[in-house]
Structure 1
Amino acid sequence: MGMEIERKFLLDRRPEELIAEGAFIRRSEQKIQQTYLALDEQQEVRVRRLVDVDTGEVEHTHTFKQGNGMSREEIEYSITASIYEQLFQASGAVPLTKTRTTGEWNGFTVELDRYEQLNLTVAEVEFESLEAAEAFEAPDWFGEDISSKKEYSNKKVWRDLQNRTHGR
């Protein structure tokens, strides 16, 4: 099982603004739909449909994650469109949709996620080690560090979306 070590920051600006002023260099952009098939406090299983905005290429993934916070175990692999559709339809859920702009800041790969159903944009940076993550000094435009704040986790945001959509 691989380790995902990342820090997340709350942005109050749109990716387009940061690109226009040269604070962030855009490499690619994807439209992502993600649905959780099962989740609890320690584990999650999700599927994603990712569409590359520039090429139109479509990818589908199935992911298992374990743990919370900055460092988690992760297994992710590609699945066919048919398997994705079957799992997505069986879930009966509303997918969480976001636009992910991947680029570079100061030698780091940064993912800016803009959630379409919410007024929320976050920056994510992945690291090779916990030490590198802890030593990272973010620029001012990254905003508040929300790496350990559960209310900003994708699974919490997705669960809130389900409750709002299904009137629970």
Structure 2
Amino acid sequence: MNKEIERKFAVKYLPENLNIESIVHIKQAFIYRDKLTLIRIREIKESYPADKQVYIYTLKTKGDIEYNNNYDVAKKYELENEISKELFEKLMNNKISNIIEKTRIKIPIENNLKVEIDIYYDYLEGLLTAEVEFPNEELATKFQKPAWLGEELGYKKLSNRKLAEMTKDEWQKEVTKEMIENNSIIIKQLKDNYNI
């Protein structure tokens, strides 16, 4: 079981000379959850650098979230397995959450880290977040974000688990109007310049 250590941010603007490592389209839902565990299924369609499609079944167990004045470090454990398209479709019929659809753009940054920008669709239209996953807790706590990343977004408010339970009105109450307006500008730039 892998330990997942990550932090989530708003995006202030796109860096110049954006170096995109990959672009994937994700459709996901939860099929089980309790206080300690959740099971997520995902359809992942990679459009850049190659065209490929996979289906993933993920078991996540609750780790902990380190809350500080300046940042939250989410620590969870997860086990992933590839499944067939047929099983994915069958499991989707038993979903217990909203379906989340998003495009994920992976951008390499210093220290062999990567920023994953998620552009959300449907009832989450207008939401844009950036996650950085870390190989260890020390790197996560010492991380100095690039200038183009904005405020830290707490996992209490905007985790995919929470978003899958929210309505449009509910998630919009968790962010500022200015953030939604800024997200719209960035999303348009990404669509215009990178065919997303």
Partners of 1:163 and 1:83 lie apart in 2 by: 33
Q: Give 1:126's aligned residue.
A: 133
What is the SS of the residue equivalent to 1:86?
helix
CA contact (8 A) 2:113 2:134 kept: no
Partners of 1:7 and 1:102 lie apart in 2 by: 15
TM-score (norm 2): 0.73
What is the SS of the residue equivalent to 2:21?
strand
Structure 1 residues 163 and 42, CA gap change in structure 2 (3 angstroms): farther
Unmatched segments (≥5 aa) in structure 1? none
Q: Give 1:96's aligned residue.
A: 100
Structure 1 residues 140 and 162, CA gap change in structure 2 (3 angstroms): closer
Structure 1 residues 162 and 33, CA gap change in structure 2 (3 angstroms): farther
Partners of 2:4 and 2:119 lie apart in 1 by: 21
Number of residue pairs matched by the alignment? 157
Is 1:140 equivalent to 2:160 in the alignment?
no
RMSD: 2.1
Query: Higher mean Cα deviation, 102-111 or 54-63?
Result: 102-111
Instruction: Report the Cα offset of residue 56 of structure 1.
Output: 2.9
TM-score (norm 1): 0.84
Instruction: Report the Cα offset of residue 84 of structure 1.
Output: 0.5
Q: Give 2:8's aligned residue.
A: 8
Higher relative contact order (CA 8 A, sep 6+): 1
Partners of 1:139 and 1:73 lie apart in 2 by: 27
Partners of 1:92 and 1:132 lie apart in 2 by: 35
Instruction: Report the Cα offset of residue 161 of structure 1.
Output: 4.3
In the TM superposition, what are the counterparts of 1:61-80 in structure 2 within 5 Å? 61-67=56-62, 68-69=64-65, 70-80=74-84
Partners of 2:46 and 2:101 lie apart in 1 by: 14
Structure 1 residues 152 and 94, CA gap change in structure 2 (3 angstroms): closer
1:81-140 alpha-carbon deviations (Å, 9 max, x no partner): 111011012327542000000121234212111111322111111111111110111022
Determine what percentage of the aligned residue pairs are the same residue.
30
What is the SS of the residue equivalent to 2:166?
helix
Partners of 1:149 and 1:75 lie apart in 2 by: 20
Q: Give 1:158's aligned residue.
A: 164
Q: Give 1:30's aligned residue.
A: 24
CA contact (8 A) 2:37 2:60 kept: yes
CA contact (8 A) 1:96 1:161 kept: no
Structure 1 residues 45 and 161, CA gap change in structure 2 (3 angstroms): farther
Unmatched segments (≥5 aa) in structure 2? 66-73, 171-196
Structure 1 residues 2 and 72, CA gap change in structure 2 (3 angstroms): same
CA contact (8 A) 1:12 1:121 kept: no
